[in-house]
Structure formats: structure tokens, C-alpha cells
Amino acid sequence: MMPEERYKKLKEYLSAENPVLLDVIDKYKALDKIGHKIGLIEHHESYTSHISWWPMISILGTFSAGKSSFINDYIGQNLQQSGNHAIDDKFTVICYGNNDESVTLPGLALDADPRFPFYNISEEINIVDPGEGNRVNQYLQLKTLKSDKIKGKILIDSPGFDADSQRDGILRITNHMVEMSDLVLIFFDARHPEPGAMRDTLEHLVGTTIEHKDANKVLYILNQIDTTAKEDNLEDVISSWQRALSKEGLISGNFYSIYNESAANTIEDEAMLKRLKSKKDTDLARIIDRMDKVSIERAYRIIKALEDFSKEIKEEKIPKLQEALREWGSRVLWTDVVVSVLLLVLVGVSQFQWHILESLNSTLSQIIAGGVMMLLIGAVHFKARAFFAERIAKKWAEKDINIAKAVLHNTKWWRTIFGFGRNWHKGIKVKLDVLMTQGRESIQKLNDQFVASSPTPTSKTSVEK
């Protein structure tokens, strides 16, 4: 889908969901123009596709951690199969539908629809696992149902996670989910009190989220804590999991403990039951509150992403591109100098030893020699341009694929090798500053929806009275 068509569809969606964000589309359009001009994104790409415009909650976790049961309780319907063993090995995207009964659609429905966060995910799967993207139906499915709890938002249930056995495609989708989501719930099973045995899984789940620029959106949930009642060791189990998470780098975070009352073990000790229920009720209420307010968080995240993209281009992408282009220009220039000197030496030696051009008019000989030299230098120059552009782009591709694309974009045959790293970027940086300022202004407009206006100051006369 071309950017213009995407802008149109987003405006149609936002006009009903949140009109305050309509102006933000035009700002993203301006950002896309900058990205296209620099070459960081191709002309069919858009920064609007790098975020989810629907509020999105992702639920990850280990096998039998109670994810599906939690979802069923939240939406008020028995939609997802649950059990102690792996039930489904697909990512299930759940959204609101008009049918009274739930409808299940194949993964292709998600891969081909730009309104969903998995648009063109098959291409990304193919990058890490060639050929697997063609089997997108094996990875994804879409379920729709009529439930007010998910109206205006997307819920994603992931297959039970085991880092040792996951395919690259599954890991890629998992990382994509974390990046796109407004809220990420990561479930662990309190019935397995030795988290050290799940080191690889913990390392991937925590490692994927801990370094995220918005780590506050990740909630770590120890589920089924009712199983600790028999041993009366709830605090020990919680501490054990917290220590395991801290070993993976999670020093502080959102850690909750809950259980499902409808599937809980019978607890005869009233004091114990009261203690567990109090802990569960408090933590569950906080989790549900975050889920219910995810639409608000999404609106702020969309605007904040505009500022983040702009800041990243200004402070990271442009300096990296300058560095790459300076290296390219320097290599091409030195190649030109070396080749020119070698040709001059070669012509001089030939004239001195063999008097090759003595039989010709001196002026004509100079023209011929000069023309041949220019042709040779030109051929070497353009060959060197392409050669070093490919080499430098390949080197950068390992660190930043966008810089690699921008290098190739800015080293076309008609581009000069001079001037990069000096003044060419100043106008772009000014435009990026404007976008960042406009983003902050949009956040202020959004605040006006939720923050009451300042009270009118009491007049001096009324105070004196």
C-alpha cells in the first residue's frame, strides 16, 4: 500500500476513534517526505507503518501460565482454549466484531490488511526464516467477537513460549509484538517454583522488553499463586521470581501476582485465603485498569513516536549517514587522485621513451591524450563510486539497515562526492525541530481532553470582600 492510501485510511479510522489525532497524520506525512529525501525509507514506505494505530495489548508467557484463561475472564467469553499443555501454537489476534458468535479468520487476513499491526509480517518472517513467510497461516489467526471489553482495541494471545524450541519466525513475531504494543503482559507460572530452569526463556522474554525505550508498558505477572497456599510460601515464590528477573537485568519493574478464582485450588485456611485474595484483587485491579486505559496510552504513544522518530533522525541517523558518506567520498576522491597520477606518469614515460606522439601535431596529440585520460578517469571514477557505495552499505547493513539504504540512495551517479557532512543537513534538521515542536503541541491538545482547565483566579475585589 502506498503512503497516500495509508494516510487516507488512517484519517477515516481516526475521525471516528480520536479526531484530535487527525492533524498528526499530516505531521507523519511531512516526516515521511524527510525520510524519503534522505533515503532512510523507500518511497512506498511510511513511518506510520512502524507503529500500531489501534490500541494493542500483547500477552506473552510460558506454557500453562494461564494466559488464555486470563483472556477469557477479561472478555467475558470462553474464546480461547485453555489447559495445562500447549493448546495452540499460533498468535491469535482478537478484536471486536459485529457477529454475535466469534469468527476465526486465517493469518492472511492480518498480513494483507494495513489496519492491523501484522501487515506484511510475512516479509519480515522471510528475512529471518526464508520461505516461512509464505506459511503465514501457520503463525497467525484472527478472531473477532462482540465484546465491549475489546471494542476499540486489539488483544493478542501468543503461543506458549519456550526459547529453546522456538522457530526464528516465532521469535521475530514476538519481538514485533513487543515493539508495537501499548501494553505487554508477560505471564509466569507460580506452579514452577524454580525459574532458574527457564533461564533461556526468561532471558529472551525479559531481554526483549527490558531495553525497550518504554519499559513501563511491560507488566510481569506471576499467575496461579493459589498453588502456594499449601506450603504457605507466597513471599518466597515471589522473591524467587524477582531474583530470577533481576539476574536478567530487571532491577525494577511492574511485578504482579494473581490467580483465577474460578479455577483455584480449595483453600480451607480462611486467613490464608483472605491474604491471597487480597493480594490478587489489588494486583488484578491494577492490571485491568492499565488494560482499560490502553486507548489513552495509544494516543500519547502515537504522538510521542513522531517526536522519537524525528529526534532519532536528527541525532542518530544523520550523523551516521554523514560518517558513511564522508568515508565514501574520501575513498572515491583518493581513487581519482591515484588513477590520475598514475595515468600522468604513464603518459610521461611513454612520451619520453618511445616518442609515441611525435609524428602527430603537438596540439592534436595533447587533445587525444587528454581525451583518453578523461575517459579512463571517468570510467574508473564511476566504477569506484558504485564499488565503495556497495562496500560501505554492506558494512552498515549489519549495524543499521536504514543507513545502508540511505548510503545507496545518496551515492547515485549524479550525486557529488563533495559537500556531505557540511551544510546539506541543516535544512532537514530545522524541519525535524519543527516536527518535534508540533508533536509537543499535539500532546498539549490531547491533555486538554483529560485535564481540566485552570480555575479562573479570584478577583482582588472579591477577596477583599
DSSP letters along 388-448, please?
HHHHHHHHHHTT-HHHHHHHHHTTSTTS-SSSTTTTTTHHHHHHHHHHHHHHHHHHHHHHH
- Single-letter residue type at 289: D
Residue 243, pLDDT above cutoff 60:
yes
Q: What mean pLDDT is reported for the chain?
A: 80
**Angle value at C-alpha 456, between 455 and 460, nearest 5 degrees:** 135
Q: Per the structure block, which three cell numbers stand in for 91?
A: 498468535
Band of pLDDT at residue 458, cut at 50, 70 and 90: very low
Domains of the chain, start order: 1-50+296-451 (no CATH), 54-292 (3.40.50.300)
166-170: which pairs have CB atoms within 8 A and are 24 or more residues apart? 167/129, 167/132, 168/128, 168/129, 168/132, 169/125, 169/128, 169/129, 169/132, 169/133, 169/139, 170/139
pLDDT digits (tens, 9 = 90+) for 58-117: 998 877 788 888 998 898 888 877 655 445 578 888 988 888 788 888 888 888 776 677
For the chain, the residue count is: 465
Do 411 and 389 form a contact (C-beta atoms < 8 A)?
yes
Winning range, highest mean pLDDT, from 4-13, 109-118, 296-305? 296-305
Residue 342, pLDDT above cutoff 80:
yes
pLDDT digits (tens, 9 = 90+) for 417-447: 775 545 667 889 999 999 999 999 988 888 8
Do 293 and 301 form a contact (C-beta atoms < 8 A)?
no
Give me the pLDDT at residue 169, please. 65
Give me the pLDDT at residue 448, please. 84
pLDDT digits (tens, 9 = 90+) for 114-155: 667 777 778 777 776 677 777 778 888 888 888 888 887 889
Residue 465, pLDDT above cutoff 50:
no
Band of pLDDT at residue 456, cut at 50, 70 and 90: very low
Q: Per the structure block, which three cell numbers stand in for 257?
A: 501476582
Give me the pLDDT at residue 317, please. 95
Q: Per the structure block, which three cell numbers stand in for 12?
A: 477515516
Residue 267, pLDDT above cutoff 50:
yes
Give me the pLDDT at residue 244, please. 73
Winning range, highest mean pLDDT, from 76-85, 192-201, 221-230, 297-306? 297-306
Q: For the residues 296-312, what does the mean pLDDT come to?
A: 90
- In this structure, the dihedral spanned by the alpha carbons of residues 334, 340, 342 and 343, taken in order and rounded to 10 degrees, is 160
Do 67 and 59 form a contact (C-beta atoms < 8 A)?
yes
Higher pLDDT, 367 or 379: 379
CB atoms within 10 A of CB 308: 16
Residue 457, pLDDT above cutoff 50:
no
Residue 197, pLDDT above cutoff 90:
no
Query: For residue 61, which of 218, 225, 182 has the smallest C-alpha distance?
Result: 218
Higher pLDDT, 223 or 452: 223
Among the residue ranges 20-29, 203-212, 236-245, 384-393, the one predicted with the least confidence is: 203-212
Percent of the chain at pLDDT > 70 equals 78
Residue 402 CA to residue 306 CA, distance in Å, equals: 17
Query: For residue 145, which of 87, 83, 89, 76 has the smallest C-alpha distance?
Result: 76
Residue 194 CA to residue 196 CA, distance in Å, equals: 5
Give me the pLDDT at residue 313, please. 95
Q: Per the structure block, which three cell numbers stand in for 255?
A: 511485578
Q: DSSP per residue over 357-391, as a string?
A: TTTS-HHHHHHHHHHHHHHHHHHHHHHHHHHHHHH
Residue 391 CA to residue 404 CA, distance in Å, equals: 10
Higher pLDDT, 5 or 423: 5
Q: Per the structure block, which three cell numbers stand in for 456?
A: 479562573
> For strand 218-223 and strand 140-145, is the pairing parallel, antiparallel, or unpaired?
unpaired
Q: Per the structure block, which three cell numbers stand in for 54?
A: 489501534
Query: For residue 417, which of 381, 373, 442, 372 has the smallest C-alpha distance?
Result: 381
Q: Residue 158: helix, strand or coil by DSSP?
A: coil
Residue 256 CA to residue 459 CA, distance in Å, equals: 49
Residue 174, pLDDT above cutoff 50:
yes
Give me the pLDDT at residue 258, please. 92
Residue 167, pLDDT above cutoff 60:
no
Winning range, highest mean pLDDT, from 161-175, 270-284, 352-366? 270-284
Residue 461, pLDDT above cutoff 50:
no
